[in-house]
């Protein structure tokens, strides 16, 4: 009896320990699984929706700005209606965003923006009701401020998604590590049933770990296999749904670029040629007033075409690695070709462009891409220099580090020191220039991508009212050998 009781006691203790290990492991897994599912649902159902709404709101603000300017020029009631529709849609999307975040600290900046828009709305309605008013319904400064705020809040939401994704990875890894440790102890006890449970749990966890690591380390959005129909299957489904939303975001951006390419460029070319034919009186005589408006239309079409070109190029640089076809490039050829191509623009502005070549050392790079970089810098220098100014393209070699340095100096208004680190950001424009000179803020961003793809760097030196000096360096032929 004592022996039987001793065996029973050992079995009881052993099975008790085994049960504690097993059910403790299951409880740990369950808590982590529920937390990961909550984070995933937050990302899928709230964060991505807010990002989509922010993108739409930015487009609506840009539409408002465009249509109110067109109305002041053309006085066409349809532009006023376009503006009204865009503003009402913007307010609706803003209210939806505030509702999604209601009760959270992230809702505060959105609610502040909503109150500001609602407070300004009656005044805008009053201005729109006066057809003779020459004032902008909403000032450019206000629209630009709203666009910047929406863009900043969108970036903050994307940062929250990144933090949540990292939390998913951390908790998934922690659940896997401690769960497998507990299951390992159970396996050591030799219980076949526990071994089967461990096997049924470890496989989906390994698949989830593979998917999380693939996402966080390689940026891959390939779905993982769903190996069960339990909570781990739900977690895998939520993970795959999150990946699907990421793919949808990528597809939407690709569709947007495709739409710009096929739905905008072709009709834009037709419009441009039609305006040109009308302006040149090929289709019949036009009055001076009509010709003036045709000239305005042609310039606006050209500006849209350039903006579209920059957007397409910036998108390609972000979505795929820049293809470089290296060859030997002589700085003199690169500089002279650039000056010749921009000579008409310089003459029209009354700006002199000159070159100062202090080296003949060839560098290695892709001629077409580097031509875009130098042309962008020189074109900017011409644009920002006053009539009668001088733009200097200076080239010299730094033999200590084996680099050829190109520098473009202008006599423009310069860039404040506090903004010099920001000029290469996408869509960024210096505050001293944004109200005086048109631009998209993409040229320097594209130039930075190209130069860095060549293994070089680009920077700016400037002082207010003393011009700017944009420089970039490329490796010489000898440094690559």
Contacts 24+ apart (CB under 8 A), 288-295: 293/74
Measured between alpha carbons, how far is residue 307 from residues 7, 125, 313, 438, 443 in Å? 84, 31, 10, 11, 10
pLDDT in tens, 268-316: 777 777 877 777 777 778 787 887 887 778 777 777 776 776 666 666 6
pLDDT, residue 409, reads 92
Q: Do domains 7-194 and 327-475 have the same CATH topology?
A: no
Interacting residues of 285 by C-beta distance below 8 A, sequence separation 6+: none
pLDDT, residue 6, reads 36
| Cβ 128 vs Cβ 101: under 8 Å | no
| Confidence band for 258, pLDDT divided at 50, 70 and 90 | low
Which of 8-22, 150-164, 291-305, 458-472 bottoms out in mean pLDDT, i.e. has the lowest?
8-22
Q: ∠ CA 128-129-133 to the nearest 5 degrees?
A: 65
Residue tagged 């949540």 (tokens) = 164
Q: What is the mean pLDDT of residues 117-130?
A: 79
Residue tagged 């009701």 (tokens) = 129
CB neighbours (10 Å) of residue 78? 11
* C-alpha span between 404 and 157 (Å, rounded): 42
* Domain 7-194 -> CATH class: mainly alpha
pLDDT greater at residue 331 or residue 431: 331
pLDDT in tens, 169-219: 777 677 677 767 766 666 665 555 455 555 666 777 787 778 777 765 444
Domain ranges of the chain: 7-194, 231-319, 327-475
* C-alpha span between 296 and 194 (Å, rounded): 79
Q: What is the mean pLDDT of residues 76-80?
A: 82
DSSP character for 405?
A: E
**DSSP for 457-472, written as a single string:** EEEEEE-TTS-EEEEE
Q: What is the mean pLDDT of residues 48-57?
A: 81
pLDDT greater at residue 227 or residue 380: 380
Q: Considering the domain 327-475 in this protein, what is its CATH number? A: 3.30.565.10
What would be the CATH architecture of the domain defined by 231-319?
Answer: Orthogonal Bundle (1.10)
pTM for the model stands at 0.42
Which residues of 369-476 form beta strands (DSSP E)? 390-398, 403-409, 457-462, 468-475
By 3-state DSSP, what share of the chain in percent is helix, strand and coil, each rounded to 5?
70, 10, 20
């Amino acid at each position: 009896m004592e022996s039987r009781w001793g065996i029973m006691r050992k079995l009881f203790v052993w099975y008790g320990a085994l049960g504690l290990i097993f059910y403790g492991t299951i409880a740990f897994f369950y808590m982590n699984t529920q937390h990961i599912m909550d984070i995933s649902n937050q990302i899928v159902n709230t964060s991505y929706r807010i990002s989509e709404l922010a993108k739409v709101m930015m487009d609506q603000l840009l539409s408002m700005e465009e249509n109110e300017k067109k109305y002041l020029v053309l006085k066409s009631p349809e532009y006023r209606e376009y503006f009204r529709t865009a503003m009402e849609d913007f307010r609706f999307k803003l209210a939806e965003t505030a509702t999604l975040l209601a009760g959270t600290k992230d809702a505060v900046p959105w609610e502040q923006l909503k109150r500001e828009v609602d407070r300004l709305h009656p005044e805008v309605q009053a201005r729109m009701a006066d057809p003779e008013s020459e004032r902008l319904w909403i000032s450019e400064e206000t629209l630009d401020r709203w666009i910047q705020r929406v863009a900043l809040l969108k970036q903050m939401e994307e940062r929250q998604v990144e933090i949540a994704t990292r939390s998913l990875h951390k908790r998934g890894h922690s659940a896997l590590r401690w769960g497998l440790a507990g299951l390992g102890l159970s396996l050591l006890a030799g219980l076949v049933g526990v071994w089967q449970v461990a096997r049924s749990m470890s496989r989906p966890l390994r698949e989830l770990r593979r998917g999380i690591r693939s996402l966080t380390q390689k940026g891959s959005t390939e779905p993982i296999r769903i190996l069960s129909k339990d909570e781990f299957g739900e977690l895998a489904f939520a993970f795959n749904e999150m990946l699907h939303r990421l793919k949808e975001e990528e597809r939407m951006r690709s569709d947007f670029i495709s739409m710009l390419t096929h739905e905008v460029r072709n009709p834009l070319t037709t419009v441009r040629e039609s305006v040109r034919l009308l302006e040149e009186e090929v289709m019949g005589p036009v009055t001076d007033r009509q010709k003036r408006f045709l000239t305005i239309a042609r310039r606006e079409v050209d500006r849209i075409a350039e903006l579209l070109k920059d957007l397409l190029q910036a998108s390609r640089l972000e979505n795929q690695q820049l293809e470089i076809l290296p060859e030997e490039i002589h700085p003199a050829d690169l500089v002279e070709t650039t000056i010749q191509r921009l000579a008409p623009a310089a003459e029209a502005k009354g700006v002199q462009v000159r070159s100062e070549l202090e080296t003949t050392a060839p560098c290695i790079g892709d001629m077409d891409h580097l031509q875009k970089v130098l042309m962008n810098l020189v074109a900017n220098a011409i644009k920002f220099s006053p009539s009668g100014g001088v733009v200097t393209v200076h080239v010299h070699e730094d033999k200590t580090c084996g680099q050829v340095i190109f520098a473009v100096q202008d006599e423009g208004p310069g860039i404040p020191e506090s903004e010099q680190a920001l000029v290469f950001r996408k869509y960024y424009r210096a505050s001293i220039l944004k109200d005086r000179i048109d631009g998209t803020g993409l040229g320097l961003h594209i130039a930075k991508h190209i130069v860095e793809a060549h293994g070089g760097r680009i920077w700016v030196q400037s002082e207010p009212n003393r011009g700017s000096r944009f420089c970039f360096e490329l490796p010489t032929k000898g440094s690559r050998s």
